Structure 1
Amino acid sequence: MVTEISLSDVRGLIGMETGLSDWVTVDQTMIDAFASATDDHQFIHVDPERAAAESPFGGTIAHGFLTLSLLSTMNYNCLPKVREQTLGINYGFDRVRFMTPVKSGARVRGRFLLSEARFRGAGMLMTTYDVTIEIENEKKPALTAKWITIIQFDPKDRPDDV
């Protein structure tokens, strides 16, 4: 897997899978920490006994937003770094869908397909990734989304052909 690319290489990757992250274990400690950080203590996330008895999941599940937030670490784990990048900005998401709950103890990984890349202004490149978070041994993914990011760079590094 390529670990570093140039700004001039990015557009050639449109339509290609550009990263597949390592597996990340979503354990109860992670779920509890996220619950504390977001003040979302719904029993399906933080009470294993009650979740096993009263929910259809057989135990606790990760918050959907916890699963979504793991994209950041997955991105750093597998996407090639752009040499000229001075700053990365999370611009937002289009069409986030939570498909399958992530059970406590499950392993997940991110799959990234670069669907769009366009230069904006003198020193910005907007990228859109079709992202999927897969759950180990599950047919359906945990989530799918379009993730939009901005790569900022020094305008002097802008490729001549754009």
Structure 2
Amino acid sequence: MHGRQRPLVARTRERHQLIHERIQRGDSLRAIAREPCLSRGTVLRFARAADVEQLLVAATDRPSMIDDYRLYLHHRWMEGCTNAAALTREIQQLGYRGTINTVHRPLRPYRTGAIPPDAPLPHLTVRRVTNWIMRRPDRAHEVDQSRDSPTEPA
């Protein structure tokens, strides 16, 4: 799709309404999934959701591969580095495996002037916390080491 895509919330609401209207008409999930850009899994997930809010909460609270690097991006932006390509290269040196497109999303609020006053907190999951506990200190990211350092003020 060329140009700007519809925002996630609007697209999710439209799809939910369309899928539920077709289910009420008696269309099968397989028939609905024949629509362009709709997989059977997507149709099933939307059909199971009682209301669109369930889908929106799941979409906005989902962890992302960029979560481990949000704190680093915040500090680098505050230091004056506003180039997403340069920031992508920097976090790739720290182990990030994604693309520049994923780095653009968390930087959007910064570009509009809505810079958060405090550094963003990482999305906490059992896996992430276990990783922090079990990781050897010499293999921690620079940002993790400075956060865990006893010399840093709390």
Per the shorter chain, which TM-score range?
Answer: under 0.3
Q: TM-score by structure 1 length?
A: 0.22
Q: Name which one, 1 or 2, has greater alpha-carbon Rg.
A: 2
Richer in helix (by share): 2
Q: TM-score by structure 2 length?
A: 0.22
